[in-house]
């Protein structure tokens, strides 16, 4: 696992957007896995700027979801499909045809989960998967004690998660779904290059447990230690609990430029 410490969220977004741009130059039709929430927004903003300036050609890129609410009607503005279309697909100048995600409105949710796992494999697998991290170390909606071999599946949201997400639903928790479809940890680990971005002091304990703690289901993100090419990008605040922070800074500073992220 490579750990890169950056000054702030903007720098992290630009660094990761640059890595995506480099990937698209090598593989124009790369399948990019995207996450929702506020943390990855600097990545999407920086990448859209690069596309508009002509520095990156994303015209053949493909986009796939990490997770989706269960039970929201098709087209609901707070479905993750709608969010990804607004924040990623449209700013990159892509059409909805370039997008794939699980069907959260399906009558048979289990079948929808299995179908999405199959679709990712048939698409050639995810080339680069963006991840955020929860304060408890969760990735996607794989809460603590999720199986490290889990596949795309339905999960029940914790009460705290529903409270946190109520801000997107007019501060009304009753509008927040109780369930989501999420890529499992095993599914996430099949991506060729998972990149986790964490910013803010509130994520510092989770980052330290993920990077320097043991691999354990109680910290789902720690499973990234098992991946041959996982990158964790953190700002100074999120890196504040890392015991090996100076080592991570030194190794990244000495890294050959040709290696990229």
pTM: 0.95
How high is the pLDDT of residue 146?
A: 95
Q: What are phi and psi of 115, to 5 degrees?
A: -65, -35
Of 242, 258, 237, the C-alpha closest to 12 is 237
- Distance, in Å, from the CA atom of 200 to the CA atom of 208, rounded to the nearest integer, reads 13
Q: Give yes or no for residue 164 having a pLDDT over 90.
A: no
Burial of 243 (C-beta count, 10 Å sphere; 0-12/13-18/19+): exposed
CA 38 to chain centre: 11
Based on its alpha-carbon atoms, the radius of gyration of the chain, rounded to whole angstroms, reads 17
Residue 96 annotated in active site: no
Catalytic residue among 49, 57, 78, 136: 136
Contacts of 159 (CB under 8 A, 6+ apart): none
Of 254, 152, 79, the C-alpha closest to 87 is 79
Catalytic residue among 68, 117, 143, 235: 143
Asked if 34 contacts 40 with a C-beta cutoff of 8 angstroms, the reply is yes
- For tokens 């059409």, name the residue: 95
How high is the pLDDT of residue 119?
A: 97
Residue 136 annotated in active site: yes
Dig out the tokens for 40 from the structure: 């990855």
Residue 57 annotated in active site: no
Residue 111: pLDDT band with limits 50, 70, 90? very high
Q: Give yes or no for residue 109 having a pLDDT over 90.
A: yes
Residue 143 annotated in active site: yes
Catalytic residue among 14, 67, 68, 127: 67
125 — alpha (psi -120 to 50), left (phi > 0) or beta? left
Contacts of 190 (CB under 8 A, 6+ apart): 120, 125, 126
Catalytic residue among 103, 138, 193, 235: 138
């Amino acid at each position: 696992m490579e750990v890169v410490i950056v000054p702030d969220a903007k720098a992290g977004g630009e660094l990761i957007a640059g890595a995506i741009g480099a990937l698209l130059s090598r593989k124009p039709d790369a399948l990019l896995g995207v996450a929702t929430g506020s943390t990855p927004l600097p990545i999407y903003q920086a990448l859209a700027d690069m596309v508009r300036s002509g520095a990156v050609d994303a015209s053949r890129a493909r986009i796939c979801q990490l997770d989706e609410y269960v039970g929201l009607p098709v087209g609901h503005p707070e479905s993750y499909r709608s969010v990804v279309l607004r924040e990623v697909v449209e700013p990159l100048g892509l059409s909805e045809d370039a997008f794939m995600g699980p069907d959260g409105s399906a009558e048979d949710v289990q079948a929808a989960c299995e179908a999405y796992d199959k679709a990712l494999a048939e698409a050639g697998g995810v080339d680069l998967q963006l991840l955020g991290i929860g304060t408890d170390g969760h990735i996607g909606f794989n809460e603590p004690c999720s199986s490290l071999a889990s596949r795309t599946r339905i999960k029940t949201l914790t009460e705290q998660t529903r409270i946190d997400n109520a801000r997107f639903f007019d501060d009304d928790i009753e509008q927040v779904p109780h369930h989501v479809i999420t890529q499992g940890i095993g599914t996430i680990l099949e991506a060729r290059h998972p990149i986790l971005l964490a910013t803010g002091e509130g994520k510092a304990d989770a980052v330290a447990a993920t990077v320097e703690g043991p691999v354990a289901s109680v910290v789902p993100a720690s499973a990234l230690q098992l991946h041959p090419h996982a990158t964790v990008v953190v700002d100074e605040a999120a890196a504040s609990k890392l015991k090996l922070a100076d080592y991570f800074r030194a190794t990244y500073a000495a890294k050959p430029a040709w290696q990229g992220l």
